[in-house]
Amino acid sequence: MSRLDSFISRMTAQREILNHLRGRLDGLGGPVLELGLGNGRTFDHLRECFPDRRIIVFDRAVGAHKTSVPEPENMVVGEIRETARKFIGINAALAHVDIGTGYDDKDAITLTWLPQLMAGLVAPHGYAVSGLELRHPHLEPLPVLPGVEVGRYFLYRRV
Ligand code: SAM
Residue 99 maps to which CATH number?
Answer: 3.40.50.150
* 40 touches ligand 1 (CB under 6 Å): yes
Domain containing 8: what range?
A: 3-158
Instruction: Give CA–CA dist 126/128, Å, rounded.
Output: 7
How many domains does the chain divide into?
1
Q: By the 8 A CB rule, do 131 and 100 touch?
A: yes
Q: By the 8 A CB rule, do 96 and 129 touch?
A: yes
Listed in sequence order, the residues at least 6 apart from 14 whose beta carbon sits closer than 8 Å to its beta carbon are 42, 98, 129, 131, 153
Query: Whose CA is closest to atom 6 on ligand 1?
Result: 38
Q: What is the Cβ-side half-sphere exposure of residue 29, based on CA atoms within 13 angstroms?
A: 3
Q: Probe ligand 1: pick from 37, 106, 111, max atoms within 8 Å of CB?
A: 37
What is the residue-level pLDDT of the chain in tens, covering all 159 positions?
A: 999 999 999 999 999 999 999 999 999 999 999 999 999 999 999 999 999 999 999 999 999 999 999 999 999 999 999 999 999 999 999 999 999 999 999 999 999 999 999 999 999 999 999 999 999 999 999 999 998 999 999 999 999
How do beta strands 122-130 and 139-141 pair? unpaired
Q: What is the Cβ-side half-sphere exposure of residue 43, based on CA atoms within 13 angstroms?
A: 26
Question: What is the interface pTM, i.e. ipTM, of the complex?
Answer: 0.99
